[in-house]
Amino acid sequence: MVIKPKIRGFICTNAHPVGCAEHVQEQINYVKQQGALKNAPKNVLVIGASTGYGLASRITAAFGGGAKTLGIFFEKEGTERKTGSAGWYNTAAFQAAADAEGLWSKNINGDAFSNEIKQKAIDTIKADLGKVDLIIYSLASPRRTDPNTGETYSSTLKPIGDAVTTKNLNTSKREIDEITVEAASQDDIDNTIKVMGGEDWEMWIDALKSANVLADNFKTSAYTYIGKELTWPIYGHATIGKAKEDLDRATVAIKESTKALNGEAYVSSLNAVVTQASSAIPIMPLYISALFKVMKADGTYEGTIEQIHALFTESLYGESPRFDDGGHLFQNYKELEDDVQARIQTIWDSVTTATIDELTDYVGYHNEFLRLFGFGIDSVDYDQDVDAIAPIANMID
């Protein structure tokens, strides 16, 4: 079929298999150009391995360090009539590239919150890897079913205390308008912590420890975004911020429970980038468009793969990791510099619908959004007929 982007609101409902493969290959090429990672992990489990920072972590470990990788994700396969999800095509491309280079790689498609998928991962690690020395936790989901109670929780994106009215970039209409987000209830806060907090990360590490598949001196990291004043009302001092705080609680618990293994647990603070998750958060499209404008002007812009490669080389496996005041691995230090934030604030205060392209890099934002789904990539002919069915090799049933 000929596949063109179908955008509804802040999501793209289809994906292009060839475009996704090209996007993955670009990231692989970047990592290989940087040379071999020093002190690289050998056996890596990536929970949330098919898009965004999780995919970039898998690429960095495999193609930068030669690591064996086991990827967990929840994606849809294509059919003759409908495209698969971008994450499905990304993983098919990653697996093909890993096979071509003789890298061990296997995949599990299913609900990472479930006990069943945790057990599948453990069985695979025992059979093929023995133990894992790096566990990346990079899940973004709107809901989670607690495997022990069967209860399903849904996350919300709401401020805490009072409703917030703020400037917003309406990506559907390409207009600057205002958006009001109602304040969260206590249930909203609690449910968001259940979905996006550290409980499942902790459960993964506990399950791996109980099964004796954690290596001595293993490392694990979850990813977070910690902004400043502009994003604080809907990100920091909000339901999602409370969930991210719970990751800090989980970090302490994981370190305590794995003392005998000398395990290291971190929350890594990363740049605001265009992902399927961030595009759904009010204010982020405008904030990121302004951020891109400032950082590209300074020559400090980093996409997802650049951020993760730098995290691995500078902090996770670097000799002098950088920490923020909250004890997180601090990879978005360039974004949070006072001068950068002040210039973003100036853009924020003055931008109108008429000046979107002049003052922000919305074009760059939109292009990055399209690329998430395999569109807008120069090397791809989007008028060509393509097969929407792309098998993933080494999938564990």
In the prediction, which pLDDT does 255 show? 98
pLDDT band at 282 (very low <50, low <70, confident <90, very high): confident
Annotated binding-site members for NAD(+): 48-53, 74-75, 111-112, 139-140, 244, 273-275
Q: What's the token pair of residue 25?
A: 């290959």
pLDDT over 80 at 325, yes or no = yes
pLDDT over 80 at 277, yes or no = no
The least confident of 66-75, 89-98, 240-249, 251-260 is: 240-249
Count Cβ atoms below 10 Å from residue 34 Cβ, excluding itself.
16
Inside any domain, residue 174: yes
What's the domain range around 49? 12-372
Annotated binding-site members: 48-53, 74-75, 111-112, 139-140, 225, 244, 273-275
Inside any domain, residue 220: yes
Inside any domain, residue 381: no
Task: Report the predicted TM-score, pTM, of the whole model to 2 decimal places.
Answer: 0.97
pLDDT band at 279 (very low <50, low <70, confident <90, very high): confident
The least confident of 167-181, 184-198, 289-303, 304-318 is: 167-181
Query: How many Å apart are CA 140 and CA 48, to the nearest integer?
Result: 8
- What does the pLDDT average to over 184-199? 98
Tell me phi and psi for residue 328, to 5 degrees: -85, 150
Domain count, the chain: 1
In the prediction, which pLDDT does 280 show? 79
Annotated binding-site members for substrate: 225
In the prediction, which pLDDT does 122 show? 99
- Which residue in 137, 153, 223, 235 is the catalytic one? 235
Inside any domain, residue 1: no
Query: How many Å apart are CA 245 and CA 9, to the nearest integer?
Result: 29
Percent of the chain with pLDDT over 70: 100
pLDDT over 90 at 297, yes or no = yes
Inside any domain, residue 185: yes
- What does the pLDDT average to over 344-351? 98
* CB proximity list for 13: less than 8 A, separation 6 or greater: 6, 7
Tell me the pLDDT of the chain averaged across its residues.
Answer: 96
Of the candidates 128, 109, 132, 301, the residue with the CA atom closest to the CA atom of residue 205: 132
Task: Tell me the HSE value of 85 on the side-chain side, using a 13 A CA sphere.
Answer: 12
Residue at token pair 């090397």: 379
Of the candidates 15, 125, 20, 9, the residue with the CA atom closest to the CA atom of residue 379: 20
Q: What's the token pair of residue 238?
A: 């909000």
- What does the pLDDT average to over 293-307? 97
Count Cβ atoms below 10 Å from residue 284 Cβ, excluding itself.
27
In the prediction, which pLDDT does 245 show? 92
Q: What's the token pair of residue 90?
A: 């990304």
Inside any domain, residue 309: yes
Query: How many Å apart are CA 62 and CA 56, to the nearest integer?
Result: 10
Chain segment 154-183, per-residue pLDDT in tens: 999 999 999 999 999 999 899 999 999 999
Query: How many Å apart are CA 51 and CA 365, to the nearest integer?
Result: 17
- What does the pLDDT average to over 247-259? 98
Of the candidates 108, 17, 18, the residue with the CA atom closest to the CA atom of residue 69: 108
Clarify whether 235 is annotated catalytic: yes
Inside any domain, residue 378: no
CATH number at 30 reads: 3.40.50.720
Find the distance separating the first CA and the last CA of the chain, reported in whole Å.
Answer: 28
Percent of the chain with pLDDT over 90: 92
Query: How many Å apart are CA 182 and CA 330, to the nearest integer?
Result: 31
Inside any domain, residue 395: no
Chain segment 3-48, per-residue pLDDT in tens: 999 998 888 999 999 999 999 999 999 999 999 999 999 999 999 9
